[in-house]
Amino acid sequence: MITHQQYPSILILGRPNVGKSTFVNRLIGSRLSITLDEPGVTRDLLSYLITIEDKTVELIDSGGVDRYRVSDPFSSIIEERVMKAAQQVSQIIFIVDATTGITQPDTKIAAQLRPLSGKVTLVANKADLTHLDYLSDYYRLGLGDPHPVSAKTGHGLQEVLRLVTHTFSAAPSDGDPLSIAIVGKPNVGKSSILNALLGRDYAITSDIAGTTRDPVHAYIRIHNTPIQLIDTAGLKKAKQVNDGIDYYASRRSMACMSASFATLLVIDATLGLLDQDKRLIRHVIEAGRRLILVVNKLDLSTMTKPELTTYLTDTIPELAFYPILMMSATNRQFMGPLTEAIDSLVEHRHFRVPTSELNQLFDAMIRRFPPRSKSGVLLKVYYATQVGSDPPEFLIFVNHPDAVSSDFTRFIEKRLRLAYPPLHGVPVIIRFKPRRAQRD
């Protein structure tokens, strides 16, 4: 059902200040610059899908992960992840600074890369600022020809890309992947869930709240549909946001959620639903995003699954319309139902009710449960049609839209959901429009 999506990949490596971010920025364009508008406090590898001459390529940026290495408690894990990625990617672009000559960190990185030299392209950046004869020094790194580029002006970049990607086969593009954002409070296990879904340690996890700072992207396929999973930084309560890192991290998490196809909202089974979770759930539903509620750390909960379900739907009744999955990410326990729930949302994403069928349903429904009149006006329902599918939107023509009560709207939503299980997990919009009776 869920398989790994392997795009050909390029890892961008280099010591601090060689211009990796400028290089990456130039390749990805301004489309994703929201992830780059904050100084480097990144811990995870950042990945982007880009198209180079009809080839879809995953560009993995290690820029930023090294700047805080000395003081960051995760420095050794970060270094380990970067080197692990180096083993796994298709190609590596190792960037040095053409203006400085070889430095100690360059030598250290080069030594680690030498066993992988077959897939390393050495790039000397800032070539616009120096004489190129200086470049011969870089042969000493033992990684072949240094290719002069200027990430700032773009000079030399195309040649390098052509060189790096010439062995990649041009896969027929199957469109932009659908994104699924994993959001929730800090420390609830979002990154652990991403890793459990991928079946490998990819995002950095720890019991320190605020471990993830930038959205972490990973790619899978569900029934041939490419999916981008995005693990986001934990959302802190407004009054706990006390610095720029938190502020930008939350802003990026919310942006990922708003742009996503579906949201996995994660809560901690031992903490239950806090006010912030309630606000987030309403936000996702109101934004018309598909929602799966993931109750993680089930292994630590003293409540049973049915008790938890009752508690959740008593607290937020609308949750009855959305999948609630209880699991234990670190034990990779109960993962099956989660993948099935994602699978179902993906499979039914274009779901539409044929108009004739919808009207048969409405006729039967109105005959059995005629709408109650409100303030003396008798409500008549004439005709219903589905006008949108993302999210599904139903337009219902009635004699007096003002006479529609919220109870009646809820009743219709419930009936639609009963009749059509593909609507489970999907917000449904119901609107009423006036229409005069023709034969009344």
Interface characters, 216-255, with ligand GTP (x: CB under 6 A): -----------------xx---------------------
Q: Which does residue 121 bind out of ligand GTP, Mg ion, none, counting CB within 5 to 8 angstroms by kind?
A: none
Instruction: Report in angstroms how near the CB of residue 191 gets to Mg ion at its nearest.
Output: 3
Q: Considering all CA atoms of the chain, what is the largest pairwise distance in Å, rounded to the nearest integer? A: 91
Q: Which does residue 117 bind out of Mg ion, ligand GTP, none, counting CB within 5 to 8 angstroms by kind?
A: none
Instruction: Kindly tell me which of 43 and 289 has the beta carbon lying closer to Mg ion.
Output: 43
Q: Which does residue 179 bind out of Mg ion, ligand GTP, none, counting CB within 5 to 8 angstroms by kind?
A: none
Instruction: Report in angstroms how near the CB of residue 189 gets to Mg ion at its nearest.
Output: 8
- Cβ-contact 52, 7 below 8 angstroms: no
- With binding defined as CB under 6 A, does residue 186 bind ligand GTP? yes
Instruction: Kindly tell me which of 241 and 430 has the beta carbon lying closer to Mg ion.
Output: 241
- With binding defined as CB under 6 A, does residue 263 bind ligand GTP? no
Instruction: Kindly tell me which of 15 and 185 has the beta carbon lying closer to Mg ion.
Output: 185
d(CA 174, CA 226): 8
Look at the block and give the residue holding tokens 């959305």: 322
- Cβ-contact 99, 130 below 8 angstroms: yes
Q: Considering only the stretches 56-64, 212-220, 348-356, 392-400, report the one whose residues sit in contact with Mg ion under the rule CB under 5 A.
A: 212-220
* Residue 140 phi, psi (nearest 5): -60, -15
User: Exactly one of 21, 47, 62, 205 binds ligand GTP (CB under 6 A); which one?
Assistant: 205
Look at the block and give the residue holding tokens 């937020």: 316
- With binding defined as CB under 6 A, does residue 192 bind ligand GTP? yes
The token pair at 216 is 């972490």
User: Exactly one of 212, 228, 296, 386 binds Mg ion (CB under 5 A); which one?
Assistant: 212
Question: Which string of b and e fits 39-49 if b means at least 16 CB within 10 Å?
Answer: ebbbbbbbbbb
Interface characters, 155-194, with Mg ion (x: CB under 5 A): -----------------------------------xx---
**DSSP codes, 322-347:** S-EEE-BTTTTBSHHHHHHHHHHHHH
Burial of 65 (0-12, 13-18, 19+ CB in 10 A): buried
d(CA 323, CA 305): 13
Q: Considering only the stretches 25-33, 189-197, 341-349, 366-374, report the one whose residues sit in contact with ligand GTP under the rule CB under 6 A.
A: 189-197
Instruction: Kindly tell me which of 5 and 212 has the beta carbon lying closer to Mg ion.
Output: 212
Name the E strands within 146-261.
146-148, 178-184, 216-222, 225-231
- With binding defined as CB under 6 A, does residue 300 bind ligand GTP? yes
The residue number whose beta carbon is nearest to ligand GTP equals 234
SS3 20: helix
Instruction: Report in angstroms how near the CB of residue 74 gets to Mg ion at its nearest.
Output: 11
CA dihedral for 195, 390, 336, 57, sign (positive or negative): negative
Name the E strands within 339-414.
381-389, 392-398
Q: Considering only the stretches 95-103, 133-141, 207-215, 342-350, report the one whose residues sit in contact with ligand GTP under the rule CB under 6 A.
A: 207-215
Half-sphere exposure of 221 (CA within 13 A, CB side): 10
Burial of 307 (0-12, 13-18, 19+ CB in 10 A): exposed
Instruction: Report in angstroms how near the CB of residue 313 gets to ligand GTP at its nearest.
Output: 22
Q: Which 188-207 residues touch Mg ion, going by CB under 5 A?
A: 190-191
Calculate the CA 283 to chain-centre distance. Answer: 17
The residue number whose beta carbon is nearest to Mg ion equals 212
Comparing CA positions, the residue from 172, 230, 206, 200 lying closest to residue 35 is 230
Instruction: Kindly tell me which of 68 and 382 has the beta carbon lying closer to Mg ion.
Output: 68
Q: Which residue(s) pair with 389 in the sheet?
A: 392
Q: Which does residue 123 bind out of Mg ion, ligand GTP, none, counting CB within 5 to 8 angstroms by kind?
A: none
Q: Is the peptide bond preceding residue 391 cis, with omega within 30 degrees of 0?
A: yes
- With binding defined as CB under 6 A, does residue 188 bind ligand GTP? yes
Q: Which does residue 147 bind out of ligand GTP, Mg ion, none, counting CB within 5 to 8 angstroms by kind?
A: none
Give residue 88's identity as a one-letter amino acid code: Q
Total of residues contacting Mg ion (CB under 5 A): 4
Q: Considering only the stretches 12-20, 51-59, 203-211, 422-430, report the one whose residues sit in contact with ligand GTP under the rule CB under 6 A.
A: 203-211
The token pair at 335 is 């993962």
- With binding defined as CB under 6 A, does residue 297 bind ligand GTP? yes
Instruction: Kindly tell me which of 211 and 328 has the beta carbon lying closer to Mg ion.
Output: 211
d(CA 396, CA 408): 12
The footprint of ligand GTP (CB under 6 A) covers 186-192, 205-207, 209-212, 233-234, 296-297, 299-300, 328-330
The footprint of Mg ion (CB under 5 A) covers 190-191, 211-212
